[in-house]
Amino acid sequence: MARLSVVLFGFVCLLPHSKLLSQTSAVEAERTIALTDGVKARCVEVLTEGLHSEEFWPSIHAAEGLTLGGFGDLVRKHLEPKLSTPLDDQQRCGVSRELIRAGDRQKRNVMLGILAGDDDFGHVHAAESLYKVEEIGDGVAMRRAFEQTGNLRLRVMAAAALGRCGNPEAMTFIRSILDHDDPEVYKLGAWILGRIGSVSDIPLLKKHVAKCPDELTRAYFDNSLAALGDEAGLAALAKSLMSDDSAVRTYAATFAGDARAVGVADALTKMLDDTHADARYRAAQSLLFLSRPSGLARTMEVSTLVWKATTKNPRYTEGSIVELADGSLLFAVTEFQDSGSDFAKAQIVGRVSRDDGQTWEASRTLQENTGGLNVMSVTLRRNGSEISMYYLQKNDVNDLDMFVRTSSDEGKTFGKATLVTADSGYHVINNDRVTQLSSGRLLVPAASTADVKTVNHFVSHCYISDDGGKTWRNGKGHVDASKRGAMEPEVVELNDGRVLMIVRTQLGYIGKSYSSDGGETWSKLESLGVRAPEAPSTLRRIPSTGDLVLIFNDTFTPGAGHGGKRTPLTAAMSSDEGLTWKNLGNLESDASKTFSYTSLTFVRDRAVMSYWESGEGRQLSCRFRSVPVSWFYR
């Protein structure tokens, strides 16, 4: 039976998938309200009226209520044309933010562009809006906003965005501003902690309540305490819904949803006729929100065998995952037929999850077998509004090339194939390996040999595209090693502009090399400083912190076949651009199995992975694993 690994408030348990879902459903039932048709219709009426308001920001607040209530189509129809009208940068942030909530996560690029731009008018709004929808892109502009000290509000909102996506330093900063002298500053810190803090922040918030100078500032603390589950905070929130101050009522109505405060449903229903428009909108928003199940808990881990090997398909391996525009996940993998051999017949198949990997839709073919033997080893990458699918085509035991096809409809169909590896030879490119540099250049790290049957010695290098993947050429240099050579490379761009390549070797360690010219030429191979067997490793930069994370098999055994078994599957981190590494712990440690060929991407506040897992006989299944970024900073 498939199993999910769940982490809640620091306690780890393993539950059968069905049992977990039944327990989760029971909890959700206690935190969900049932709206009558009349109340639901009134909520929609209130919010639709607000959506068409002539006042810009109240209309955006109404849009938020509709999207959180499940009426994203209505919001998209109304807001999408507005991006083509004259708007200032702050307004563009508001529209883009709600379009993201309504199902178009690519609108994050509007706000990321404003945040990175020279005009500072929209910087705070961009950071705040990105925080609200859990988007930071590659993290570069947001980390820069956090590091600056000239604009405190910008720094606070950047810290909120980074903290929500797993940056512990940013969370420490948010907690520290509760000590600030200005109520406008420390109430902002309280508001943020209510959304992204934890139960451990309850004593800290209570410590500072006494200094609040007025009812509204106090409400920020009470509402945040309620959102963190504090009973006194929940009681204070309920009282605030009756306040004579419209701002206090509005904020309490907003946080009633965050707190899953089902006990105030009657009070929220009465507020649908509040004389203050924003209070009506927020009451309608929370009622609709509370009638819907909440999403994946921020502290929850998901781990399940999405692709389970069978007698007919004894091997599902080398996967890659990409986020679709509506926030769902597309998981592609190689499906081998009748045999687990690298030379067996195989095709690329995919499945979609619309609930952060908890459940998956039926399998469909993404790339049929066009090779003499197979197609395999897929990489999915987003390039603006398009998704590229890279894959290897194996025509015979000595003929292996990479192709790329592009989709303009979110992976439903893919266009004509383009050859990446145009020169002769046998070219191995691991799954989930294509990297785009800050210049826009695309790098495909490959390990090549002239003849795999008789030579079987590999050198690593990069294929390069400077036109978005339309045309490709080979770089000028390569990386070599003794014995079987430099194999299965991975590349990442460093902060100083160089490119770091890591490679699989037979030398008892992961090899590394540097390029100072965008992947054209490479320095002599040296050790990364990490012992490892002859096995692939995955290297990525964590967007919210800028640290490098390495996924590898920490099991080097001198004299053993391939230098050791591919278990455990371990994570290590570097905060100095790969010069030194700290072992963080094992993602998988079952000694009876092997784990390898990891894919890794970051989706909002989560690290999303896939890797093979061995089973009975020589069968290999492919596992989906999602952990909060905070897992790496435990």
To the nearest whole number, what is the mean pLDDT of the chain? Answer: 93
Q: Please tell me the predicted confidence (pLDDT) of residue 455.
A: 87
Specify the range with the lowest mean pLDDT, choosing from 2-6, 162-166, 463-467: 2-6
Residues forming a β-bridge with 7: 12
The model's pLDDT over 40-76, given as tens digits with 9 standing for 90+, comes to 999 999 999 999 999 999 999 999 999 999 999 999 9
Question: β-strand 499-504 against 509-515: which pairing, if any?
Answer: antiparallel
Is residue 328 within 8 A of residue 606, CB to CB? The reply is: no
The CA distance from 349 to 345, in Å, is 13
**Token digits for 60?**
């955006």
Let me know: does 149 contact 155? Beta carbons within 8 Å: yes
Name the E strands within 266-385: 302-307, 315-323, 329-336, 346-353, 364-367, 374-383
pLDDT, tens digit, for every residue of 397-456? Answer: 999 999 999 999 999 999 999 999 999 999 999 999 999 999 999 999 999 999 888 888
As a whole-number percent, the residues of the chain with pLDDT over 90 amount to 91
pLDDT tens per residue across span 130-149: 999 999 999 999 999 999 99
pLDDT at 2 over 60: no
pLDDT of 3 above 80: no
* Tens digits of residue pLDDT in 7-27: 222 222 233 343 333 333 444
Q: Indicate the pairing of strand 11-16 with strand 595-603.
A: unpaired
pLDDT value, residue 18: 37
Identify the band that residue 29 occupies on the pLDDT scale cut at 50, 70 and 90.
low
Distance CA 166, CA 88 (A): 31
CA distance 118 to 433: 33
Q: DSSP string of 469-516?
A: TSS-EE-S--B--STTBSEEEEEEE-TTS-EEEEEE-SSSEEEEEEES
For residue 512, CA distances in Å to 218, 321, 400, 597 come to: 54, 26, 25, 18
End-to-end CA distance of the chain: 29
265-294 tens-digit pLDDT: 999 999 999 999 999 999 999 999 999 988
Is the pLDDT at 162 greater than 60, yes or no?
yes
Checking if the pLDDT of 615 tops 90, the result is no
Residue type, 460: S
* Two structure tokens written together for 249: 């009522």
DSSP 214: S
Amino acid at 438: S
pLDDT of residue 27: 42
Work out the average pLDDT over 368-390. Answer: 97
Apex CA 286: angle with CA 282 and CA 292, to 5°? 150
Flag whether pLDDT at 4 surpasses 50. no
Structure confidence at residue 12 (pLDDT): 28
Residue 513 has pLDDT above 70, yes or no: yes
Q: How far apart are CA 124 and CA 521, in angstroms?
A: 41
Predicted TM-score (pTM) of the model is 0.93
- Please, what's the b/e burial string for 156-171 (b: 16 or more CB within 10 A of its CB; e: otherwise)? bbbbbbbbbbbbbebb
What pLDDT is stored for residue 13 in this prediction?
A: 29
Which domains does the chain carry? 1-30 (no CATH), 302-419 (2.115.10.20)
- Asked if residue 329 lies in contact with residue 78, where contact means CB atoms within 8 angstroms, the answer is no
CA atoms of 431 and 408, how far apart (whole Å): 21
Reply yes or no on whether the pLDDT at 174 is more than 60. Answer: yes
What average pLDDT does the segment 242-266 reach?
A: 97
What's residue 616's pLDDT?
A: 84
pLDDT at site 9: 25
Q: Are 568 and 553 in contact (CB under 8 A)?
A: yes
